[in-house]
Structure 1
């Protein structure tokens, strides 16, 4: 009789351990997919040469749950029309952004451009100084002459709440698999 209870307890313990293991694996998989697995297809040429039309990137949702976007981060944001867009952070909260003579000025100082960034032929609303609020960002596409971004009133300044996460890796096409880093 004693032997039977011991064997039954071992089976129950084995089943409970198996259920706990499965639950932990499912929770971990959900966390990884939620945090790093949101696929964002790139439409258009506004982020050329970094990202091409029809590339697919993964978004890191957690980086901005614990921090704020930095200048030159490539971020995913949700527009007022619920479309997801990918752009680069140029202006940070509290700064004043202006585009003069094809160059970007932050708080009246010429911003050092990342390598490969050309001049801007259309300043849009940034022709005049644009003052960013305490939770607003000024975003531009890398292909400045072919990008609908914060220079235009239909996008404008982007609130921190609109920023969904940071682009961290290109997964398609597979031949171009690479980590996406700030410039």
Structure 2
């Protein structure tokens, strides 16, 4: 009888530890997210499942072109690409990104740029025109979706506060045929 109680108690402890460990990992380190919509096509597809690294920006800073997950104004989580960092001047002209006057290549857009026949993929704009600010404010990011014509991003909702950023994401784990790391 005593052996059964001991074995039951060991299984109970193991189960409690597993549940607590899973909760800590999910809340503080990594979390799953589902891509909802087409705003990150062709890089990410609707219903792709990804892992969000919540620890990444607690120990480091976002970098230009990271794919991040953040709380959007509509009480929804968005997945977008970092285009502008604090202090950056952002401008698009002739379908080219300029940051602080320097042109940047965006190879993840090449596929869509080749398909567009009725104008640029990214309409020309300056940060001042879309946000009313000359530079990205401290503690904020300017983000855009890769599917520029069909993305609700910083051009519409403004810059994103770092406190609203959950983390970055770069691994698709579902569907199985799409498992990969994305840039």
TM-score range, shorter chain: 0.7 to 0.9
Larger radius of gyration: 1
Aligned equivalents of 1:124, 1:116: Cα separation in 2: 17
2:61 maps to: 68
Gaps of 5+ in 1: 1-7
CA 1:14–1:72 in 2, change beyond 3 Å: closer, same or farther? same
Compute the TM-score of the two structures, normalised by the length of structure 1: 0.77
| Residues 168-183 of structure 1: pairs in structure 2 closer than 5 A | 168-180=170-182, 182=183
Aligned equivalents of 2:31, 2:166: Cα separation in 1: 13
Segment of structure 1 superposing worse, 22-31 or 83-92? 22-31
1:143 aligned residue (123, 142, 147): 147
2:75 aligned residue (82, 85, 88): 82
Pairing 1:38–2:29 present = no
Aligned equivalents of 2:150, 2:75: Cα separation in 1: 21
Aligned equivalents of 2:78, 2:55: Cα separation in 1: 18
2:124 maps to: 123
Gaps of 5+ in 2: 114-119
Offset of residue 19 of structure 1:
6.4
CA 1:97–1:68 in 2, change beyond 3 Å: closer, same or farther? same
1:4 maps to: none
**Alignment size in residue pairs:** 170
Pairing 1:107–2:100 present = yes
Offset of residue 130 of structure 1:
4.0
Offset of residue 125 of structure 1:
5.5
Aligned equivalents of 2:143, 2:176: Cα separation in 1: 28
Which structure shows the bigger proportion of residues in helix conformation? 2
- Whether the aligned pair in 2 keeps the contact of 1:98 and 1:130 (CA below 8 Å) is no
2:22 aligned residue (4, 23, 29): 29
Aligned equivalents of 2:93, 2:7: Cα separation in 1: 70
Offset of residue 20 of structure 1:
5.7
**Backbone CA RMSD of aligned residues:** 2.7
Offset of residue 14 of structure 1:
8.3
CA 1:28–1:92 in 2, change beyond 3 Å: closer, same or farther? same
Compute the TM-score of the two structures, normalised by the length of structure 2: 0.77
